[in-house]
Structure 1
Amino acid sequence: MNLIDSHAHIYSEKFNADRAEAVERSTQEGVTKIYMPNIDHTSIDAMLEAEEKYPDVCIPMMGLHPTSVDKDFERELYVVEEWLNKRSFAAVGECGIDLYWDKTFLPQQQEALKVQVELAKKHQLPLVLHTRDSFDEAYEIVSAAQDGTLKGIFHCFSGTVEEAEKVKELGFLMGIGGVATFRNGGLDKVLPHVQLEDLVLETDCPYLAPMPHRGKRNEPVYLPLIAQRVADLLNKPIEEVAEKTTANALNLFKL
């Protein structure tokens, strides 16, 4: 099988001791590409170093994570814009809104997302969206800016059937990760109502490891477990899930 991890922080310090082995393990299991979302200025060097060491596998994005947005967010966005002007990236991300940890900087998060939506348009890149406890807020901004050119992923999608339909109507994909394997994750009630053409797979490593590894460090080698869960919920062969989600990811990121 040929699988693509559309969202993985393989550059995280949690892989400092065995990053090469983690990449090797994943490629042996058929994970041919690992797309890396940026967090803020502090993560860029590590991300680009991973790309340099594993150029055929690890592919960077450029963006500002909503949990890194504070009163000085404009300075961070200048860094994002400078890098986007300097070289190519697979996407603008991860960006979005996060209301799980703190609502203090919601206005700044909204402004930062609006700026990054416009950067995606300017550079003709897909958006990779973080929407933890904030689907409506993020959707409102992106849908208002949708002019037919915006594409992207609602990363770590764990919403309702109605929200899945909104994502599809917007022309975006849903990133499905370890939550799909959780007993109370809720996606068992949603995924049977969506189509493979609207999905990509992700690990979000080192976070959200799928069952039976929940609570441990996640890594791209676990992506087949997520693919199998999606296959079970859609009542399709895992080979079909792998083929279609890989095609979806390649088609999106080739922009």
Structure 2
Amino acid sequence: METNIIITDTHTHLYSEQFDLDRDQMIQRAIDAGVSRFFIPAIDSTCTQAMFDLEKNHPGHVFLMMGLHPTYVKDNYLEELQHVESELAKRKFYAVGEIGIDLFWDKTHLKEQQIAFRKQIQLAKQYKLPIVIHCRDAFDEIFQILEEEKSPELIGIFHCFTGTYEQALQAISYNMKLGIGGVVTFKNGKIDQFLSKIELKHLVLETDSPYLAPIPFRRKRNESSYLVAVVDKLAQIYSLSAIEIAAITTENSKVVFGI
């Protein structure tokens, strides 16, 4: 890929311990491949310092979010939400995320997940920030809260979108972009079958690294440089050049994050 290209990874866990041995080299590989903007979702308070370190070590490339991930909504979730709130009050973040509902692993904290999701949407509105949504086996539950909390100013990303065409249109109706990553390259990923019917202005790129590596890296540790494989797949789907896909999706990311 050409070196003057700018690809944006809107969702990468660069602080993951899976990168502890080669983090700086991995980030440099991505930059060399044209992936030079990294948006970092929060999980819970235990990752906050690692996120700050990343930002300090890679200025101009790393942009932080603040939030409580739904699978980390446990008995102490009110304490964790307080952490989110106090961090948002202290400094600049680029989104509230990743937030949402996940009923894949465990349904016991659904009520608490709903409370946490709603509260964090309200914080996003208060700070005029976009939201980045984690949704797993929970489209109906998430759409219900978005319906109640929607406003013209509320924008964001449906991270790792894996829903149907109808769900894609519904997400877009709430001012959400669709986060497209490795799943679009999977044989059973399904979203590649209808994506061409969705205007490219509604899509942003992401890896969710170290998870969900695209083909041909599937089942390996994912990293941001692999986003090039997602760009190539979208170039096929939309009959555009990789450079056009990179330019349009990076522009879309600027619309969401304001940078």
TM superposition score normalised by structure 1: 0.98
Residue 188 of structure 1 aligns to a residue whose secondary structure is helix
Instruction: Choose which of 75, 79, 89 in structure 2 pairs with 1:71.
Output: 75
| 1:17 counterpart = 2:24 | no
CA offset at residue 235 of structure 1? 2.0
Kindly report which structure 2 residues correspond to 1:224-239, keeping only aligned pairs within 5 A, or say none.
224-239=228-243
Which consecutive residues of structure 1, in runs of 5 or more, have no partner in the other structure? none
Aligned to 1:31: 35
Aligned to 2:135: 131
Give distance in 2, aligned partners of 1:156 and 1:135: 13
Residue 42 of structure 1 aligns to a residue whose secondary structure is helix
Q: What CA RMSD, in Å, does the superposition of the two structures yield over aligned residues?
A: 0.9
User: Over residues 127-167 of structure 1, what are the superposed CA-to-partner deviations in whole Å (9 max), with x where a residue is unaligned?
Assistant: 00000111121121112111211000000001111011111
Instruction: Choose which of 55, 60, 85 in structure 2 pairs with 1:56.
Output: 60
Give distance in 1, aligned partners of 2:61 and 2:242: 22
CA offset at residue 190 of structure 1? 2.1
Aligned to 1:186: 190
| 1:119 counterpart = 2:123 | yes
Give distance in 1, aligned partners of 2:218 and 2:129: 33
Aligned length: 255
Aligned to 1:41: 45
Aligned to 1:107: 111
Give distance in 1, aligned partners of 2:62 and 2:22: 15
Sequence identity (%): 45
TM superposition score normalised by structure 2: 0.97
**Deviates most, 188-197 or 87-96:** 188-197
Aligned to 1:208: 212
CA offset at residue 237 of structure 1? 1.7
Residue 178 of structure 2 aligns to a residue whose secondary structure is strand
Aligned to 1:251: 255
User: Over residues 67-126 of structure 1, what are the superposed CA-to-partner deviations in whole Å (9 max), with x where a residue is unaligned?
Assistant: 000122100000000000000001000000001100000000000000000000000000
CA offset at residue 2 of structure 1? 1.0
Give distance in 1, aligned partners of 2:200 and 2:106: 34
Which consecutive residues of structure 2, in runs of 5 or more, have no partner in the other structure? none
Aligned to 1:150: 154
CA offset at residue 229 of structure 1? 0.8
Give distance in 2, aligned partners of 1:211 and 1:193: 23
Aligned to 2:88: 84
Residue 136 of structure 2 aligns to a residue whose secondary structure is coil
Runs of 4+ displaced beyond 2 Å: none
Residue 145 of structure 2 aligns to a residue whose secondary structure is helix
Paired letter, 1:66: P
Give distance in 1, aligned partners of 2:244 and 2:24: 29
Give distance in 2, aligned partners of 1:211 and 1:108: 36
CA offset at residue 239 of structure 1? 1.4
